[in-house]
Amino acid sequence: MRSSHNPALVRSPAFNGRGGPETIDPLEQAYLSPTATARQTGRMTVDSVVERTAILLGTAVLTGAATWALGLGGLAFPAGLVGLVLALVIIFKQVTNPGVILAYAAIEGVFLGGISQYFNAAYPGIVVQAVVGTAGVTGVMLALYRSGRIRVTPQFTKMVVGATLGFFVLIMVNFVAGFFTDGGLGLREGPLGIAVGLFAIGLASLNLVLDFDLVENSARQGVPERFGWFAAFGIMITLVWLYIEILRLLAILRGSD
């Protein structure tokens, strides 16, 4: 099985190629109905991951909308911290319990609702643009992957993983520098901010392709059905990253008008 790139999945033996169920025997696979569901086979399917990803995103949208409507934007920061801690617990404990993962989605929704309200107050209409942009980029990358125009090879995976790790190290350095200098290294403002934003969006998009490939290969290998929630959690992390990067880039562009 292909090794995982996603920090939400890399520690799980079901996704990193160092454990999980045995490979499905070709003869057994031939007898499985092509329309069999994950619950019927006891194995994760691509459809089950799509359904669970939709449930997680729907949960985040509901709590985010409630946060916005009730004017609770001040909860964004504490929700972000709680969400980070819970995400780390899910990742390192390899939690597949749907209740815990749904709780993460709900808390993440509060965080996203709060920051979205903040950005929209500064730049009216920017949230709708970011949502449409996120959906558009996701659709394009899925189409490119499904058509074979983007092929996930070991070299491609290494390039994306290396660039992602390097990017997050740079962002952390910029964050720490912000405590000593206004704006840190200036990676989120002006022409440099636009360039960094475009790079980050491209990087998040390529990580989505790796997520698609990982789910497809894991389903083919017969990963247990319960890991469908874990896979959906990993995809949601990438989608949230993509949305935030698009939101940041739009804010920089709107601010430079």
Residue pair 115/76 in contact by the 8 Å Cβ criterion: yes
**Euclidean distance between CA atoms 75 and 114, whole angstroms:** 7
Q: What is the pLDDT of residue 38?
A: 54
Q: How many other β-carbons are positioned within 10 Å of the β-carbon of residue 136?
A: 11
* Assessment of whether the complete model's pTM goes beyond 0.75: yes
Lookup: tokens for 189: 């403002």
The parts of the chain modelled with pLDDT lower than 70 are 1-41, 256-257
| Sequence letter at residue 252 | I
Q: What is the pLDDT of residue 128?
A: 97
State the number of CA atoms in the 13 A half-sphere of 70 facing the CB.
Answer: 12
Residue pair 119/72 in contact by the 8 Å Cβ criterion: no
Domain boundaries, the chain: 45-255
Q: What is the pLDDT of residue 21?
A: 44
DSSP 142-164: HHHHHHTSS---HHHHHHHHHHH
